[in-house]
Amino acid sequence: MARISTYLNDNSISGEDLLTGSNYIGFNNYSTNTFRIKDLAEYFAGQILIDPSSLSIKTNGGLVYETVNEYKLSSNKSRSI
């Protein structure tokens, strides 16, 4: 496999494109796998809370958010990125 820096940039990304990464099997155990972009998009969409009625409310009435890697997460859900 060539160095990543030698590949051209893909300017037309589609949901069928594949990314290579590590698939978690168990404690300290991973396998190399490919992931389809549309499958990753569906996974991430399922991890994002969009229903405002399920957000935590602070005692003074404000919403509670935690910012992780530039993403705002509701404090009433446990998330890992």
Contact 64, 55 (CB under 8 A): yes
pLDDT score at 48: 75
- Token pair in block for residue 12: 């037309």
Do 40 and 67 lie in a common domain? Answer: no
Do 80 and 54 lie in a common domain? Answer: yes
pLDDT score at 76: 47
Q: For residue 33, list its beta bridge partners.
A: 21
d(CA 43, CA 24): 15
To the question of pTM greater than 0.85 for the whole model, the response is no
- Domain of 62? 49-81
Do 42 and 70 lie in a common domain? Answer: no
How many structural domains does the chain have? 2
Do 40 and 55 lie in a common domain? Answer: no
Q: What is the pLDDT along the chain (81 residues), one digit of tens a residue?
A: 789 889 898 899 999 999 999 999 999 999 999 999 999 999 888 877 666 666 666 666 566 666 666 555 554 444 444
pLDDT score at 70: 58
